[in-house]
Amino acid sequence: MRSILFAALTTLDLAVGGSRPIAAEPRVTVEFTQPENFRDATLSGRHRGADERVLNELRTSFEYLGERYLAPGLSLHVEVTDIDLAGRHEPWWRSQGYDMRVMREIDWPSINLNYELRRNGTVIASEKARITDPSYLQHPGRHGYGIRDPLYAEKYMLDLWFRQRFIDR
């Protein structure tokens, strides 16, 4: 019975329009330019540059926000040129065996990027931007970004930027 059903569906698929659907172009593409030179994109604080985990989390966040906030027909290409995560690693914590990022009012997160917004493949906006959140300590855990997420401040900051840039206009 299964093989008959499979054969019928395969025949119907071929009759209606072909083999497999072609994957749609992603709504958001993210490129990190020279991440080894980023100011502070490591969760460990042991070296300059960027951790793969940080880059993957931020890429996923950009993609999620694009799906959530970009209107149909729009796509976004983002080139991240620098990242400075919220807070700082302080050496005196490491001497006690901790790998901890200390959050203070002066160490707010920032991401430098270039972006192109396209409608059906045509560039409709292109800009260089520096995204920052000097008040990041005043809103931990908002919009579903839990305070236990080590990148909650950066994700919330990107959420605000997406809403201001692509929704409120």
Q: What pLDDT, in 10s, does the model give residues 14-32?
A: 444 444 444 456 799 999 9
**CA distances in angstroms from 81 to 24, 30, 54, 97, listed in the order given:** 27, 11, 14, 32
Taking only the tens place, the pLDDT of each residue in 52-91 is 999 999 999 999 999 999 999 999 999 999 998 877 766 6
In the chain, DSSP finds a helix count (H) and a strand count (E) of 4, 6
Residue 8 in any domain: the answer is no
Lowest-pLDDT range of 74-78, 109-113, 142-146, 148-152: 142-146
Q: Which domain holds residue 163?
A: 24-167
Residue 15 in any domain: the answer is no
Residue 68 in any domain: the answer is yes
Share of the chain above pLDDT 70, in %: 62
Question: Which residues, at least 6 apart from 59, have a Cβ–Cβ distance to it below 8 Å?
Answer: 30, 32
- Look at residue 139 and tell me whether its pLDDT is greater than 60: yes
Number of domains in the chain: 1
pTM of the model: 0.75
